[in-house]
Amino acid sequence: MSTKTNIAPFIDHTLLAPAASRDRIRALCVEAVDFGFHAVCVNGVWVPEAARMVSDSPVRVCAVVGFPLGASSTAAKRAEAEAALADGAIEIDMVIDLGGLESEEYDRVRADVAAVADAVTARDGLLKVIIESAGLDDDDIVRACELAVAGGADYVKTSTGFGPGGASVDAVRLMRKTVGPEIGVKASGGIRTYDDALAMLEAGATRIGTSSGPVIVRLTGDEG
């Protein structure tokens, strides 16, 4: 028997390419069900299709909001979240207001998160806030995590995968230290191997966002 950790239950199987086709989204969902991943993570336009594809399974649908820049208005982010939840998403991954963070307009950043958190909570959903950690120094990572939690986030997440870099063990460790044991940490961006994923989990991540889930799970020896 393999002694490797079965990472499948921690994985959000992700396809966020803007030109992703319906066939690719369907394939993503089939893989998520077959491998026993936690969720599929898609752009809002594909939420109804993903929800239909995984409806007879435990796989959840996650939609991104304010993606990938975080520069949408708060009203737009909230409306986008509400639409995705109405279409069948259960989890929302929103990008933090990076411009507000850079400008040290911290009340604005917190209020942005809170508006989306209010919409997500009303639907019994789960909110993850992407802080784009590779573009921040340690002080800003801590501040972004604190603001996300103050705004009502259930998780903080490292990266969009479209920014200056992906997840790092150091960032995940700092994020976990900042938010404590009650808030989730999602490592996402550049995680392509079993060793990558395991390192993130050991650093404190409780969810892994990756498009390489099937490869990672095959390496555990525990595929379904």
Catalytic residue annotation: 93, 157, 186
The C-alpha atoms of residue 158 and residue 166 are separated, in whole angstroms, by 7
Neighbours of 143 (CB within 10 A): 18
* 16 secondary structure, DSSP code: -
93 phi and psi angles, rounded to 5 deg: -110, 105
Reduce the DSSP state of residue 63 to 3 states and report it: strand
What residue has token string 């705004």? Answer: 151
Give yes or no for a contact between 192 and 167, defined as CB atoms under 8 angstroms apart: no
Neighbours of 90 (CB within 10 A): 18
Residues 6+ apart with CB under 8 A from 180: none
Neighbours of 165 (CB within 10 A): 15
* 211 secondary structure, DSSP code: S
